[in-house]
Each structure stands twice: as C-alpha cells, then as structure tokens.
C-alpha cells in the first residue's frame, strides 16, 4: 500500500513537471536547454516531457483549472528566477483538495500522509 505522497511522486509529479516545462517553453519562449537548467533536469528529460513520453497524467491534470493556475504560477516564478523548489506538500494538498486520484489510486493510498 502506498501513501498519498508516494502516488503523487510516482504518478503526478512527473506530469506537473511536464506541464511547467511546457508552460515555460510556450509562454516564456525558453529553449529546452534553458528549461532544463532552471528546473534542474537534463534537456533530454525536457524533450521527453514535451513529447509526452513522461508525465502521462498530464491530461488528467489539465482538466482542473486550479492546478493549471498553480502550474502557471510556478512557471512564472521559475521564469523570473524567484522559485527554486516546488513544495511537495503543496502539490499533494492541491491534488487532494481537487480530488484528482482515481478510485483505484485512492484504494492504494493509506492515511499516513496528512498533506
């Protein structure tokens, strides 16, 4: 049985990173190399996100306006060099508050994480 945060890290965090990377490229006209440097990953990782080979839950997250606004806020902070890390508990809280998990994921989840 996984905790809520373990599900977020394995399934949803890559999707959030993909959404932020796409926002930086599309809205701030950054290159994949620039995005990789700012987000602390490699350019090939950004390429995977752009081609949707990683972060497969993007379509699930894109249905939620509050999460889209959160991604835009994070991207704006990264573009302005005001954001160094993404608070894991903030992501967990957004996902939990917006009831994003499927019934199967909820069944896997235990109550240890109280984000």
Reported as a single tens digit per residue, the pLDDT across 73-111 is 999 999 999 876 666 677 777 777 777 766 666 655 555
**C-alpha dihedral sign at 109, 39, 26, 47:** negative
CA proximity to 31, closest of 39, 40, 43: 43
* Residues 67, 1: Cα–Cα separation, whole Å: 26
Q: What is the mean pLDDT of the chain?
A: 83
- Compute the residue count for the chain: 115
Q: Quote the DSSP letter at residue 41.
A: S
Residue 105 CA: distances (Å) to CA of 28, 37, 61, 64, 110:
34, 32, 15, 18, 10
Q: For the chain, which residues make up each domain, given as ranges?
A: 2-110
For residue 103, the model assigns a pLDDT of: 67
- Comparing 38-42, 46-50, 83-87, 90-94, which segment has the lowest mean pLDDT? 83-87
Per-residue pLDDT, averaged over 20-41, amounts to 96
**C-alpha dihedral sign at 61, 51, 89, 110:** positive
pLDDT at 49 over 70: yes
């Amino acid at each position: 049985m996984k905790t809520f945060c373990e599900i977020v890290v394995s399934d949803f965090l890559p999707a959030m990173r993909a959404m932020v990377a796409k926002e930086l490229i599309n809205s701030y006209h950054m290159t994949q190399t620039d995005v990789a440097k700012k987000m602390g990953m490699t350019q090939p990782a950004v390429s995977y996100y752009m081609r949707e080979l990683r972060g497969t839950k993007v379509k699930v997250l894109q249905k939620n306006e509050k999460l889209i606004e959160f991604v835009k806020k994070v991207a704006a902070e990264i573009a302005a060099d005001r954001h160094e890390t993404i608070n894991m508990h903030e992501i967990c809280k957004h996902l939990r508050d917006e009831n994003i998990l499927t019934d199967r994921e909820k069944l896997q989840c235990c109550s240890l994480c109280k984000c």
